[in-house]
């Protein structure tokens, strides 16, 4: 989704803004723009469609835009097509064309999010003589701020809070006012925004990597708060316009973690970081041979108090939920429901008070997951967030937070955060089972030992990557790929299929292997690739039979199975083996070849692996 940066200090702003936007590219965008002020002069606005280098070229890498205070934006189109006129920044003035250049305006701004009542607000502003040059909801907000600014004449914070009261939806806004040179004003509701502070300079951004090169000191601005930033001061206000104090947080992760570090793509780097992500996450939860969830506020008594688990998430995080369902149910005998957050939030599901609602999210900002969390809290359930981004909205609003320690994930397609979520959920399942008494002391010890061995086993799976690279070159022209499995293997298939389709653009579907005969098998043709996941010994023969049924209708078969299951080669054309592990935890290993297959297929097709078309890293709109 859109990315926002802002800088005010003593250096030239434009190169810093461009650098920040480049680090937010992973969020997905289709156009970009800057507004920079040179002292008291009006802001100069420059926009470009397409990749960021067009904007960099247009501004001579920022050098042709003098000024030490500015805002920048990468736009992921929601209202209006991805054109120059709709690109941000937007201005409050009456202008023809795209709103570029020095437009006589009191307010200029950028926005991430969606203003739901923008039509109604636009009509109001039209009645008050405003004219609109774009189709965006952002231009409406900028003009609404301008309207209140002029009507009440109390200053930017007042104009912004009045606007916040009128708009419905989500926003992270950064605004500059003509009468306040050297200052940037920001506001936030349900869209990510951080404020950074350094000696003689202040920053704002949608995410930490954008400003990490300049500072590690950040404020996490809360929902419905306003920030006022100047080179050497940062102030925060609530909706009443009263000043509030926020804690300063030090970012501890390494800046190099957000760089490619010699890998061709972030995705490949992050695939290789999975042993570390799983190890760090497990180390934070396992101490002296015991699982300790007290850092998430989950004491044994709390864990004992639930009769039902609901897991809510989107995309890959939902797939983690699907895998965890099998593990938690099997180990604890508690009923587990797994719901898509976008459905859950509108479904009026009965939620009992003794339910633990677990929201899984890498970014902690996914709009549907956040809304689902709020629904669960309203209905009286206790909530646990399994989140990667520290200080994110979901982490702050949930009753309990279990952090995954995957570090910053840049590639749009998640890999290491997914793996960290899996092991975190596995540890939770084992601890719940232990305190509920559904597993013995011996089993508890065995599970902890097996979990501890996962990171090294992931590393061993990665050693087989050349074979997958080779195989992917054979399937690069496939039209359809089917991923099948039963039980946990079905959950793994879901993730394998998503990884394939989202970055290679090859149509793929995941099916519970037993469901094929109920319709889908009619799609199997000569050479259709069917990938079977075969890690559950109890279900192995069943899934093999389903694969063979496909083969006899022309399918080409690939299997992912556990080392030692060599009979699979009697039926399957290409086999990948993963190390033996306790079958509850196999997802962490079996997913890796499927991630690699998706990755290499995308590379073979010459696609933009890290930033696939139409996708955004953090989906902060509905
Ligand atoms: C797919 C992918 C997405 C995310 C989903 C949820 O590779 O990354 O499906 O898993 O958008 O995002 P988070 O985990 O940030 O809530």
Question: Model confidence over 254-301: pLDDT tens digits?
Answer: 666 667 777 889 999 999 999 999 999 999 999 989 999 999 999 999
Is residue 211 in a domain?
A: yes
- Residues 505 and 390 both lie in one domain: no
Is residue 84 in a domain?
A: yes
Span 113-156, pLDDT tens digits: 989 999 999 999 999 999 999 999 999 999 999 999 999 999 99
Instruction: Give the position, in ligand 1's atom list, of the atom nearest the Cα of 318.
Output: 10
Half-sphere exposure of 524 (CA within 13 A, CB side): 25
Bridging pattern class, strands 90-91 and 107-115? antiparallel
Of 216, 251, 286, the one marking the end of a domain is 251
Is residue 193 in a domain?
A: yes
- Residues 274 and 244 both lie in one domain: no
C-alpha 108/C-alpha 143 separation (Å) is 9
pLDDT-derived band of residue 107, with 50, 70 and 90 as boundaries?
Answer: very high
- Residues 346 and 378 both lie in one domain: yes
Is residue 614 in a domain?
A: no
Span 508-563, pLDDT tens digits: 999 999 999 899 899 999 999 999 999 999 999 999 999 999 999 999 999 999 99
**What pLDDT sits at residue 190?**
85
**What pLDDT sits at residue 256?**
66
Span 337-375, pLDDT tens digits: 999 999 998 988 888 889 999 999 999 999 999 999 999
| CATH number of residue 503's parent domain | 3.40.50.10490
* Dist. CA 362 → ligand 1 center (Å): 7
Residue 459 Cα to chain centre, angstroms:
24
pLDDT > 70? residue 309: yes
Taking all residues of the chain, what is their mean pLDDT, rounded to a whole number?
Answer: 94
C-alpha 23/C-alpha 16 separation (Å) is 11
Average pLDDT in the 427-448 region? Answer: 98
Is residue 612 in a domain?
A: no
Instruction: Give the position, in ligand 1's atom list, of the atom nearest the Cα of 415.
Output: 7
Q: Decide whether any atom of ligand 1 lies within 6 Å of the 502 Cβ.
A: yes
Q: How many CB atoms lie within 10 A of CB 575?
A: 18
- At 107, phi and psi to the nearest 5? -130, 140
pLDDT-derived band of residue 91, with 50, 70 and 90 as boundaries?
Answer: very high
Q: Decide whether any atom of ligand 1 lies within 6 Å of the 415 Cβ.
A: no
C-alpha 281/C-alpha 418 separation (Å) is 12
Burial letters 352-390, b for 16+ CB under 10 A, else e: eeebbbbbbbbbbbbbbbbbbbbbbeeeebbbbbbbbbb
pLDDT > 80? residue 1: no
pLDDT > 90? residue 241: yes
- Residues 439 and 300 both lie in one domain: yes
C-alpha 370/C-alpha 390 separation (Å) is 15
pLDDT-derived band of residue 252, with 50, 70 and 90 as boundaries?
Answer: confident
* Dist. CA 596 → ligand 1 center (Å): 18
Nearest to 359 by CA among 327, 301, 402: 402
Is residue 615 in a domain?
A: no
- Residues 430 and 483 both lie in one domain: no
Q: Is 223 exposed, middle or buried (0-12, 13-18, 19+ CB in 10 A)?
A: middle
- At 590, phi and psi to the nearest 5? -70, -25
**DSSP alpha helix (H) spans, 357-504:** 367-378, 393-397, 416-436, 441-462, 465-475, 488-504
C-alpha 276/C-alpha 423 separation (Å) is 12
Shortest-distance Cα residue to atom 11 of ligand 1: 315
Q: What six digits make up the tokens of 481? A: 């790929």
Instruction: State which of 191, 265, 311, 316 you would mutate to test the pocket of ligand 1, scoring each by most atoms of that ligand within 8 A of its C-beta.
Output: 316
Q: Decide whether any atom of ligand 1 lies within 6 Å of the 413 Cβ.
A: yes
* DSSP symbol at 25: G
- Residues 408 and 351 both lie in one domain: yes
Could you give the 3-state DSSP secondary structure of residue 62? Answer: coil
What is the percentage of the chain residues whose pLDDT exceeds 90? 84
Of 226, 251, 276, the one marking the end of a domain is 251
- In the chain, how many domains are there? 3
Q: Is 132 exposed, middle or buried (0-12, 13-18, 19+ CB in 10 A)?
A: middle
* Dist. CA 399 → ligand 1 center (Å): 22
The one catalytic residue in 189, 416, 611, 617 is 617
- Residues 275 and 343 both lie in one domain: yes
Could you give the 3-state DSSP secondary structure of residue 605? Answer: coil
- Residues 84 and 225 both lie in one domain: yes
- Residues 188 and 95 both lie in one domain: yes
Per DSSP, what are the bridge partners of residue 402? Answer: 386
- Residues 286 and 421 both lie in one domain: yes
pLDDT-derived band of residue 103, with 50, 70 and 90 as boundaries?
Answer: confident
Q: Decide whether any atom of ligand 1 lies within 6 Å of the 49 Cβ.
A: no
Span 13-56, pLDDT tens digits: 999 999 999 988 877 788 999 999 999 999 999 999 988 999 99
- Residues 59 and 82 both lie in one domain: yes
| CATH number of residue 183's parent domain | 3.60.20.10
Which residue segment(s) compose the domain that 545 sits in? 465-604
Of 462, 494, 523, the one marking the end of a domain is 462
Could you give the 3-state DSSP secondary structure of residue 98? Answer: coil
pLDDT > 90? residue 617: no
**What pLDDT sits at residue 622?**
77
- Residues 513 and 404 both lie in one domain: no
C-alpha 61/C-alpha 14 separation (Å) is 8
**Rg of the chain, C-alpha, whole Å:** 25
Q: Decide whether any atom of ligand 1 lies within 6 Å of the 98 Cβ.
A: no
* Dist. CA 85 → ligand 1 center (Å): 30
Q: Decide whether any atom of ligand 1 lies within 6 Å of the 55 Cβ.
A: no
* Dist. CA 221 → ligand 1 center (Å): 23
C-alpha 308/C-alpha 382 separation (Å) is 11
Residues 6+ apart with CB under 8 A from 162: 148, 152
Q: What is the dihedral of CA 461, 462, 467, 468, to 10 degrees?
A: 100
The DSSP string of 337-348 is EEEEHHHHTTS-
pLDDT > 80? residue 79: no
Higher per-residue pLDDT: 619 or 142: 142
C-alpha 203/C-alpha 184 separation (Å) is 9
pLDDT > 90? residue 87: yes
C-alpha 178/C-alpha 158 separation (Å) is 16
Is residue 597 in a domain?
A: yes
Span 406-420, pLDDT tens digits: 998 999 999 999 999
Is residue 618 in a domain?
A: no
C-alpha 548/C-alpha 524 separation (Å) is 12
**What pLDDT sits at residue 232?**
94
C-alpha 412/C-alpha 266 separation (Å) is 9
Q: What six digits make up the tokens of 361? A: 């999210």
């Amino acid at each position: 989704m859109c990315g926002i940066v802002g800088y005010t200090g003593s250096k030239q702003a434009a190169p810093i803004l461009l650098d920040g936007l480049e680090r937010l590219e992973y969020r997905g965008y289709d156009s970009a723009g800057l507004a920079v002020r040179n002292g008291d002069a009006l802001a100069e606005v420059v926009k470009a469609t397409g990749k960021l280098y067009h904007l960099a070229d247009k501004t001579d890498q920022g050098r042709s835009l003098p000024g030490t205070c500015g805002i920048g934006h990468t736009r992921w189109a929601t209202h209006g097509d991805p054109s120059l006129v709709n690109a941000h920044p937007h201005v409050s003035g009456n202008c023809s064309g795209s709103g570029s250049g020095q437009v006589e305006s009191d307010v200029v701004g950028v926005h991430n999010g969606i203003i739901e009542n923008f039509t109604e607000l636009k009509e109001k502003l039209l009645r008050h003589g405003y004219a609109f040059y774009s189709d965006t909801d952002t231009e409406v907000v900028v003009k609404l701020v301008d309207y209140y600014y002029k009507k009440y004449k109390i200053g930017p914070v007042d104009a912004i809070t009045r606007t916040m009261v009128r708009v419905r939806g989500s926003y992270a806004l950064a605004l500059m006012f003509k009468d306040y040179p050297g200052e940037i004003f920001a506001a936030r509701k349900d869209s990510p925004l951080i404020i950074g502070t350094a000696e003689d300079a202040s920053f704002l951004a949608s995410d930490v990597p954008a400003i990490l090169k300049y500072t590690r000191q950040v404020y996490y601005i809360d929902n419905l708060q306003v920030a006022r930033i100047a080179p050497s001061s940062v102030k925060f206000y609530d909706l009443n316009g009263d000043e509030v104090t926020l804690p300063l947080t030090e970012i501890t992760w390494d800046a190099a973690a957000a760089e490619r570090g010699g890998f061709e793509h972030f995705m490949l780097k992050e695939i290789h970081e999975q042993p570390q992500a799983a190890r760090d996450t497990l180390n934070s939860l396992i101490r002296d041979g015991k699982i300790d969830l007290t850092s998430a506020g989950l004491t044994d008594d709390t864990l004992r108090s639930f009769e039902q688990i609901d897991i809510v998430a989107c995309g890959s995080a939902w797939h983690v939920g699907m895998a965890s369902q099998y593990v938690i149910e099997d180990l604890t005998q508690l009923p587990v429901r797994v719901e898509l957050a976008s459905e859950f939030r509108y479904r009026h599901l009965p939620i009992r008070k003794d339910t633990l609602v677990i929201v899984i999210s890498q970014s902690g900002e996914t709009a549907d997951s956040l809304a689902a969390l709020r629904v669960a809290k309203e209905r009286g359930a206790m909530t646990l967030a399994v989140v990667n981004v520290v200080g994110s909205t979901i982490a702050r609003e949930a009753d309990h937070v279990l952090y995954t320690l995957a570090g910053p994930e840049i590639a749009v397609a998640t890999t290491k955060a997914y793996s960290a979520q899996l092991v975190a959920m596995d540890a939770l399942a084992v601890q719940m089972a232990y305190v509920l008494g559904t597993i013995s002391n011996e089993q508890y010890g065995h599970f902890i030992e097996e979990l501890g061995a996962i990171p090294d086993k992931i590393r061993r799976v990665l050693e087989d990557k050349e074979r997958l690279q080779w195989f992917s070159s054979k399937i690069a022209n496939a039209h359809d790929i089917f991923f099948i499995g039963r039980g946990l293997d079905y959950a793994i298939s879901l993730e394998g299929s998503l990884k394939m389709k989202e970055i290679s653009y090859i149509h793929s579907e995941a099916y519970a292997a037993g469901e094929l005969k109920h319709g889908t098998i009619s799609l199997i043709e000569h050479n259709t690739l069917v990938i079977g996941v075969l890690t559950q010994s109890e279900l192995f023969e069943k899934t093999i039979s389903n694969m063979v049924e496909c083969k006899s209708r022309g399918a080409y078969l690939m299997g992912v199975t556990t080392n030692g299951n060599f009979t699979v080669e009697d039926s399957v054309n290409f086999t990948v083996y993963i190390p033996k592990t306790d079958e509850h935890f196999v997802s962490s290993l079996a997913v890796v070849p499927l991630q690699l297959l998706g990755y290499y297929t995308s590379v073979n097709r010459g696609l933009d692996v890290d930033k696939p078309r139409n996708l955004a890293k953090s989906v902060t709109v509905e």
